[in-house]
A and B are shown apart, each in its own frame.
Chain A
């Protein structure tokens, strides 16, 4: 049943909103990939069967939603209308939740989140410290909708921005609004989206293409995945508005191969959008036609680079080409193409709905709006967080993130993925902002925020990123293909005790050549992690090279595992799992590791229940 006009659309939206009772109890279960790994889909089924058994189908709603962001505490269940927040919910809790909380208003203490410092139990989602300081404009809707339901999206006002744009705004006016809002690309480049739209609109040649880059490749970043899984329509709406503004009739969503649930939910969203007439010919009777095709990647980080992405869609290998001619002039199939990141597109409906002025009121001078980050690593509250630009790193890590795992000491936070840098403690009070981050040697990137503690070796981290890029290099140009691997070899030497005086200086001199010589941004930013760790953690490099020691206790060749005789109970658990059979001792007596035979696998450290294994 296609809608043929914006009036019809508004009527439908009103009808759906009115049919929803905001006071009706609704159990929402987070079913993003993370929570599904915790068994969330089984939990949803359990709730459904319990509701059926109790004959409560008319009285209680159950909704499987996208990611709520607080991944550390999954499975997450939020009971509406009051938004009672339950975490680590198990299958056995389902019946009790329905009987006690939903029907009787009784709160189950054991499922509540407890403040880690005061121990106080928190009942409502908005009071949970993790959420309190966030500004979940884009991501927050996830908890209110079933991503496979178009009606749910309409009920929260979805596609209203599209109707507004098609109804009363000329394409140029839409671009002006996005320019005015100063929406900067959320994929890493931070390029002003409005200007990109403008260039594409004014470029010569047809057809014009609009692409959503969902090739989220930065390891440790999964914001785009969760947005596509949890609120695919927000991305589609943004793309349709953008296509209207630019004058494009064909769009693509390029999704990473490793995201099957995202592909599934976006496909469903596109199909339902088409059925309703929000995609396809003559959208809402405006005369504007636009449709979207989903393309899955083949497993190549480099395909996140725009020209490599175009090549991949064209059926070729993801080798970038020189960008002397912009993709907005000659992109996909050599036609004008506008490529934006998932989160960038999802911001568009907000801007059109609430206006550029409102958007400008959030953030810093040059970085407007919010940004979703994946806060991961050695942090207590791992998850996806959305904050206004300008919040400090400290606020994110301490107030939202809850501080360092196991009470250890903060050492660095890495932003910008393999193209970014490590930020030490002295900058914790800096404002999160595109330009500020670039100034200190890192970058915003796509939003990965990896927290590291005193047991993270910064030299090893640099090596890790180089190894990653080495495996992802397309191999076309010499500086990246050969340069990155030579840098990695030097890092290997340093980490394995073969570092030499002058290695740091060599890395520094190579890096400028790689920055200048590489064909694309993968190569030209490859040396950022190395350079930033040399800048802020030079002492660790020196320790590895001169003293052949790894202060963080990570680099295998430079550490030893020993057993603390005072703590060891002689239970022999470690000896049994030791692959080198190098742990010996009398039963119930402290044991000893034979350093000659030890292969540093770490099995003993993992196994010991008495903290008796030491790393030195």
Chain B
């Protein structure tokens, strides 16, 4: 176990844990946006920044990636940290005025929008947290969507922003998207996501439309389990 101090509180945590994990396990809250337990931390949003002190130097690091060390002193609400947090929230509110979750966190942190930033109209609600791309690559394994371009023009979506043939319609990306930018619609016996219509498979037992046929086909191909076995919904198994 490693001994460290977070916000003047002495805590212990397992070796290999990040500051964020150590804080969470000890009831200390640090705001996050791009962090997800099941996905590799990217350090993209910078909201979880904290100020650490090792010896004489202090520096700002992202708690989602920085691994704890013996004797580390962490401050989650120093002036520099709050400054970064305010800037990040103000920038994201200007980029995605419609992203509710950002406004909620901002309100909680006492951060007002910066009126000098002209709000964007073409970014939708995408804050580029990267979770959708990561889940599609790391958990689902098809990489149907990805990033394109760079800088402020960076976008998320299928290649050429055209409906993707690799997408299996599983909806994992919509599920992890914190702002609701990725929309998934169920209409009749179809699911519509990323401009593609997926025919929903019906459970052979209860008849509920529970998953796209393409998703079940993909699972069958990759696991070797027969398609017919898969067409029984979780409730009926």
Q: Name the one of A322, A471, A475, A503 contacting B62, with C-beta atoms under 8 angstroms.
A: A322
**Of B46, B92, B95, which is in contact with the most chain A CB atoms at under 10 Å from its CB?**
B46
Kindly state the separation between the CA atoms of A515 and B83 in the bound complex, as whole angstroms: 11
Please state if B88 and A517 are interface contacts (CB–CB under 8 Å): yes
Please state if A470 and B152 are interface contacts (CB–CB under 8 Å): yes
Please state if B83 and A479 are interface contacts (CB–CB under 8 Å): no
CB interface residues, B 67-86, toward A, < 8 Å: 67, 80, 83-84, 86
**Of B42, B61, B83, B150, which is in contact with the most chain A CB atoms at under 10 Å from its CB?**
B150
Please state if A513 and B94 are interface contacts (CB–CB under 8 Å): no
Given A477-B45, A513-B86, residue A324 in contact with residue B61 (CB < 8 A): yes
Minimum CB–CB distance for A381 against chain B, Å? 36
Given the complex, which residues of A lie within 8 Å of B92, measured CB to CB? 478, 482
Please state if B45 and A478 are interface contacts (CB–CB under 8 Å): yes
Given the complex, which residues of A lie within 8 Å of B118, measured CB to CB? 489
User: Quick check: is B153 within 8 A (CB to CB) of the other chain?
Assistant: yes
User: Quick check: is B147 within 8 A (CB to CB) of the other chain?
Assistant: yes
Kindly state the separation between the CA atoms of A324 and B19 in the bound complex, as whole angstroms: 13
Q: Name the one of A321, A324, A514 contacting B87, with C-beta atoms under 8 angstroms.
A: A514
Q: Which chain B residue lies CB-closest to A490?
A: B116
CB interface residues, B 22-36, toward A, < 8 Å: none
Q: Name the one of A470, A472, A478, A512 contacting B44, with C-beta atoms under 8 angstroms.
A: A478
User: Quick check: is A538 within 8 A (CB to CB) of the other chain?
Assistant: no
Given the complex, which residues of A lie within 8 Å of B150, measured CB to CB? 300, 317, 472-475
Given A322-B65, A481-B128, residue A517 in contact with residue B49 (CB < 8 A): yes
Please state if A481 and B154 are interface contacts (CB–CB under 8 Å): yes
Per-position contact with A for B4-42: 1 when CB-CB < 8 Å, else 0? 000000000000000000000000000000000000001
Q: Name the one of A475, A489, A503 contacting B151, with C-beta atoms under 8 angstroms.
A: A475
Kindly state the separation between the CA atoms of A500 and B151 in the bound complex, as whole angstroms: 27
Please state if B87 and A481 are interface contacts (CB–CB under 8 Å): no
Minimum CB–CB distance for B5 against chain A, Å? 19
Per-position contact with A for B116-134: 1 when CB-CB < 8 Å, else 0? 1110000000011010000
Given the complex, which residues of B lie within 8 Å of A324, measured CB to CB? 61, 65-67
User: Quick check: is A506 within 8 A (CB to CB) of the other chain?
Assistant: yes
User: Quick check: is A179 within 8 A (CB to CB) of the other chain?
Assistant: no
Per-position contact with A for B138-177: 1 when CB-CB < 8 Å, else 0? 0000000001011111100000000000000000000000
User: Quick check: is A137 within 8 A (CB to CB) of the other chain?
Assistant: no
Q: Which chain A residue lies CB-closest to B87?
A: A513
Q: Which chain A residue lies CB-closest to B59?
A: A516
Please state if B66 and A477 are interface contacts (CB–CB under 8 Å): no
Please state if A321 and B43 are interface contacts (CB–CB under 8 Å): yes
User: Quick check: is B230 within 8 A (CB to CB) of the other chain?
Assistant: no
Minimum CB–CB distance for B18 against chain A, Å? 10
User: Quick check: is A486 within 8 A (CB to CB) of the other chain?
Assistant: yes
Q: Which chain B residue lies CB-closest to A524?
A: B60
Kindly state the separation between the CA atoms of A485 and B61 in the bound complex, as whole angstroms: 23
User: Quick check: is B91 within 8 A (CB to CB) of the other chain?
Assistant: yes
Kindly state the separation between the CA atoms of A516 and B94 in the bound complex, as whole angstroms: 20
User: Quick check: is A476 within 8 A (CB to CB) of the other chain?
Assistant: yes
Given the complex, which residues of B lie within 8 Å of A500, measured CB to CB? 116
Please state if A513 and B66 are interface contacts (CB–CB under 8 Å): no
Given A317-B150, A322-B61, residue A476 in contact with residue B116 (CB < 8 A): no
Given the complex, which residues of A lie within 8 Å of B42, measured CB to CB? 476
Minimum CB–CB distance for B114 against chain A, Å? 8
Given A475-B153, A477-B43, A517-B60, residue A483 in contact with residue B116 (CB < 8 A): no
Kindly state the separation between the CA atoms of A470 and B92 in the bound complex, as whole angstroms: 16
Q: Which chain A residue lies CB-closest to B118?
A: A489
Minimum CB–CB distance for A483 against chain B, Å? 6
CB interface residues, A 323-339, toward B, < 8 Å: 324
Q: Which chain B residue lies CB-closest to A472?
A: B151
CB interface residues, A 318-373, toward B, < 8 Å: 321-322, 324
Per-position contact with B for A492-509: 1 when CB-CB < 8 Å, else 0? 000000001001001001
Please state if B83 and A516 are interface contacts (CB–CB under 8 Å): yes
Q: Name the one of B65, B95, B153 contacting A482, with C-beta atoms under 8 angstroms.
A: B95
Minimum CB–CB distance for B128 against chain A, Å? 7
Given the complex, which residues of B lie within 8 Å of A514, measured CB to CB? 87
Please give 5 more A-B residue pairs, beta carbons under 8 A apart, in addition to A473-B150, A482-B92, A517-B60.
A324-B65, A473-B152, A485-B152, A510-B87, A518-B46
Please give the residue numbers on chain B whose beta carbons come within 8 Å of chain A beta carbons, in ascending order: 42-47, 49, 60-62, 65-67, 80, 83-84, 86-88, 91-92, 94-95, 114, 116-118, 127-128, 130, 147, 149-154
A-B contact pairs, 25 of them (CB 8 A): A322-B43, A322-B61, A324-B66, A470-B151, A470-B152, A471-B151, A472-B151, A473-B152, A475-B154, A476-B42, A477-B43, A478-B44, A478-B45, A478-B46, A478-B88, A478-B92, A478-B127, A479-B91, A482-B94, A482-B152, A490-B116, A513-B83, A516-B80, A517-B46, A517-B60
Task: Kindly list the 10 A-B residue pairs having the minimum CB-CB distance in the complex, ordered from nearest.
Answer: A513-B87, A475-B154, A482-B91, A517-B84, A473-B151, A516-B60, A517-B46, A475-B150, A475-B151, A478-B88
